[in-house]
Structures are given as C-alpha cells and as structure tokens.
Amino acid sequence: MKGIEVELGARSYPIYVESGNLDRLGQLAAKHLPGRKVALITDENVGSLYLERARSALITSAFSVTDFILPAGEPTKSLQQADGLYARLIESRFDRSATVIALGGGVVGDLAGFIAATFMRGVPYVQIPTSLLAQTDSSVGGKVGINHRLGKNLIGAFYQPTFVLIDPSVLNTLPERERWAGMAEIVKYGLIADASLFDRVAGNLTELIHLKNPDMLEAVISQCCAIKADVVRQDEKEAGLRKILNFGHTIGHALEALTEYKFYKHGEAVVLGMRAMSWLSREMGVLADAAFQRIEPALQAFPLPQPFPPIDAAAILQKVHLDKKVVQNQINVVLLGDIGRAILKDRLEEKLLLGAVEWLLAEQRRR
Ligand SMILES: NC(=O)c1ccc[n+]([C@@H]2O[C@H](COP(=O)([O-])OP(=O)(O)OC[C@H]3O[C@@H](n4cnc5c(N)ncnc54)[C@H](O)[C@@H]3O)[C@@H](O)[C@H]2O)c1
C-alpha cells in the first residue's frame, strides 16, 4: 500500500488515505513500528465508536494495547490532562520502546503528539485522525502541543509521526457542523495552492458535506495532505513558506479569542478571516475582481452561528496584535495573488487591515 510521502530526510513518513484503513492498522503498525507496546489515546466520542476496531486490529498483529480515553473537547488539550497521562504511562510501565497512537480529532492528535514528543524524551507516535480538520490538516506536519491558561497552542513542539493513517469512512459519524469546519480548511488549501481543488470543492460543496460522493471526498483529502506534505517538506518549522497555511487565520484567531472559543468553531472563524483577506487582496490590487467574485459565493455558502457577536474593529485589531504570529509588533499576513496562489505580505500597514475588518463587520451586520 502506497502512501503520500512527507519527505523530511530521516524523519520522512507516509500518509495512508483509504476507506477501511482502520482495519489495516495492525498490519501497518507491524510494518512501521519498532516495538509491540502501544498506548492508544482517544476521546469519549471517538472511543465509543472506533476504539474496539483499532484495538482489535492491533491485537491481531500481536500488539499489547493499553487505552486512554479522555473527555472530548478543547479543554482536554491541557497541562493537567498531559500530567494525568504521564502518570498513567509511568504506572503502566511504559518505557522508551512504547508507541503512542492518537485516535481522534485535532485535540487528541495535538495532545497525544505532545505526550509522544516529551515522554521519556520522545517515543514514536502514529496519527489516526478522525475529524475532517484532522484528516486534512492537524495530523500532518508534526505540530503538536497543548494550550496554556494564558493562550491557545502556546506549549508544544515540532515532532513528526511515524505514519498517518486516514480512513475517510469514519467521517460518516462526524457531526455536520464539524464537517463544515473541516471543509473550511480544504477551501483554504484550494485558495492558497491549487485552483483545481478550489473549483472541485466549490462546485460540489453540498455533495461533499453530505458525504454523497465518498470517492471524491477521499481524493480531496489526499490532495490536501499532498499540499501540506509539500509545504512541510520545504519549510518544516514555519520559517517562511509554511506561513501560507495561516491564510485567514489572523482575523480568524482574533474572532475565536474574542468569543472565548465558545461561539465559533475554528474553521468557521477562518471562513470569515478568508473573506476579509480575499477582499483586502482585491483592494490592494493583487487579486483580480473576477477571482474575488468566484471566492465570495464559495465562502458565503458556509453556515455560521448567528447572530454576529457584538465585536468592534478596534477589539479585533487589539487581539491581532496579541497573536503569536505577530512578530515584533509587525502584522504579517497572507494575501491571494490568484485562486491557488498565496502571497506572504510582511509589515502590513495597520490601516489596511482595519479596512478589511470594517468591511467584514459591515458584511456580517448586513446579513
Ligand atoms: N497541529 C496542527 O497543525 C493543527 C492544525 C489545525 C488545528 N489544530 C488543532 O486541532 C484542534 C481542533 O481539532 P478538531 O476540529 O478535530 O476538534 P476535536 O478533536 O475536538 O474534534 C471535534 C469533535 O468531533 C468529535 N469527533 C472526531 N472525530 C469523530 C468521528 N469520526 N465521529 C464522531 N465524532 C468525532 C470529537 O470527539 C469532538 O467532539 C484544535 O485544538 C486546534 O488547535 C492543530
């Protein structure tokens, strides 16, 4: 079975994308992993649906499996949960020969990856992403971490998995709102890197969201993984190119933070951020109006929670300045030169960003 390769020299690894892959876990684990002792980490939702399948696939291939079922939701990505996991791993006599397997969405993947990066100074780990966001984004590229009470994703590492196993059929049980949130990142890949992907997704949004065309969805997930693999290959630690993956995220993060991460899903906030940055790209004369007119309907098709919260432009700009991606008080953003072509723009004048935020707020109030 051939995977999409993330080429990083000695740290290279394959991403396997195929319906039914969960049942091939034992076989692939036997091929790639050095030891036979596995800590299988999941959350309650995913665990109740898929833990037994994953576990029996591993046991059939002679693995010894201890499972760890965590509460579902963002608060699980915490130092407290990490501490509890370290304790249980130590008590269960896990050592450096162990492997961590993350079975779940981005929360489980980020936390389990962080545990793998730090337990005994690092043990191998496998990502089995089960949400659309995790299958197309968070499971690839080795960013692992947890939240701190003073901010999201502030504690972490770059630590690559041994392999990534994606089974798109598990998306059948993913709630619709989560599917939209993941689809936002897919549209992002199209906008920043692949016009044909954008056209395919924009033209088949409803069909994809309602899982009416599994083959197309599988192909789209593979395309996203291939794009991310290519970006990570060129810039593993986000010194330059990898920043294009943050398209729409500066304003998106500010909206999430201002609503205390309770109102918007990450992907929903990114939809708003992408609208603002597409508008700004056109205003700055780098994106043709015709392209903007194709992007807008695709982004407007995303259902967002209503009504728009009482947030003003000044508050958004203030949050933007606190973002960890704002370096030395300079606002660095991602613009579009065309559909499928991102442009990194450093030192954006604040008044230009303000204009984009004001346009976005006016659009939301008009709805
Ligand atoms: N490491 C990275 O590069 C990166 C990139 C983007 C996002 N992230 C992180 O990812 C996290 C968000 O990930 P997420 O959106 O997957 O959230 P999540 O892990 O909370 O999953 C969303 C919900 O869907 C449930 N779920 C997942 N798969 C399911 C399935 N197949 N069937 C039924 N329910 C299922 C989960 O239990 C959860 O309730 C955030 O913490 C974010 O910071 C990391």
Reported as a single tens digit per residue, the pLDDT across 295-306 is 999 999 999 999
> In the predicted model, is pLDDT for residue 361 greater than 90?
yes
Atom of ligand 1 nearest to the CA of 44: 37
> In the predicted model, is pLDDT for residue 113 greater than 90?
yes
Q: What's phi and psi for 299, nearest 5 deg?
A: -75, -35
pLDDT at site 325: 63
Instruction: State the residue for tokens 């929670």.
Output: 305
> In the predicted model, is pLDDT for residue 2 greater than 90?
no
pLDDT at site 150: 87
Half-sphere exposure of 174 (CA within 13 A, CB side): 24
Question: Cα(first)–Cα(last) distance of the chain, in Å?
Answer: 48
Atom of ligand 1 nearest to the CA of 267: 15
Structure tokens at 257: 């933070």
Q: Catalytic: 210?
A: no
Helix (H, G, I), strand (E, B) or coil at 286: coil
The pLDDT mean for the chain works out to: 96
pLDDT digits (tens, 9 = 90+) for 151-184: 899 999 999 999 999 999 999 999 999 999 999 9
> In the predicted model, is pLDDT for residue 326 greater than 80?
no
% of the chain exceeding 90 in pLDDT? 94
Calculate the alpha carbon distances from 296 to 61, 187, 259, 271, 299 in Å: 49, 12, 24, 10, 5
H-helix or E-strand containing 151?
A: strand 151-158
Q: Nearest-CA neighbor of 66 among 27, 20, 35? A: 35
pLDDT at site 344: 96
Measure 72 CA to ligand 1 centroid, in angstroms: 9
Handedness of CA 214, 215, 218, 224 (dihedral sign): negative
Helix (H, G, I), strand (E, B) or coil at 312: coil
Rounded to whole angstroms, how far apart are CA atoms 99 and 360?
A: 46
pLDDT band at 268 (very low <50, low <70, confident <90, very high): very high
pLDDT at site 365: 87
> In the predicted model, is pLDDT for residue 294 greater than 70?
yes
pLDDT at site 31: 97
- Listed in sequence order, the residues at least 6 apart from 108 whose beta carbon sits closer than 8 Å to its beta carbon are 41, 42, 43, 46, 70, 76, 102
Rounded to whole angstroms, how far apart are CA atoms 7 and 151?
A: 31
Atom of ligand 1 nearest to the CA of 265: 15
> In the predicted model, is pLDDT for residue 237 greater than 90?
yes
pLDDT at site 328: 67
Q: Catalytic: 176?
A: no
Atom of ligand 1 nearest to the CA of 108: 19
pLDDT at site 323: 75
pLDDT digits (tens, 9 = 90+) for 179-229: 999 999 999 999 999 999 999 999 999 999 999 999 999 999 999 999 999
Q: Count of CB atoms within 10 A of residue 306's CB?
A: 8
The region of weakest confidence among 2-6, 47-51, 108-112, 353-357 is 2-6
pLDDT band at 322 (very low <50, low <70, confident <90, very high): confident
CA of residue 105 relative to chain centroid, distance:
9
Q: Catalytic: 321?
A: no
Instruction: State the residue for tokens 């502030």.
Output: 154
Rounded to whole angstroms, how far apart are CA atoms 362 and 352?
A: 16
Q: Nearest-CA neighbor of 99 among 78, 85, 119, 69? A: 119
Measure 124 CA to ligand 1 centroid, in angstroms: 21
Measure 131 CA to ligand 1 centroid, in angstroms: 6
pLDDT band at 253 (very low <50, low <70, confident <90, very high): very high
Pocket residues: Cβ below 6 A from ligand 1: 43, 45-46, 49, 72-74, 77, 104-108, 110, 130-131, 133-134, 137-138, 141, 143, 153, 170-171, 173-174, 178, 181, 266
pLDDT at site 324: 60
Instruction: State the residue for tokens 């290519």.
Output: 230
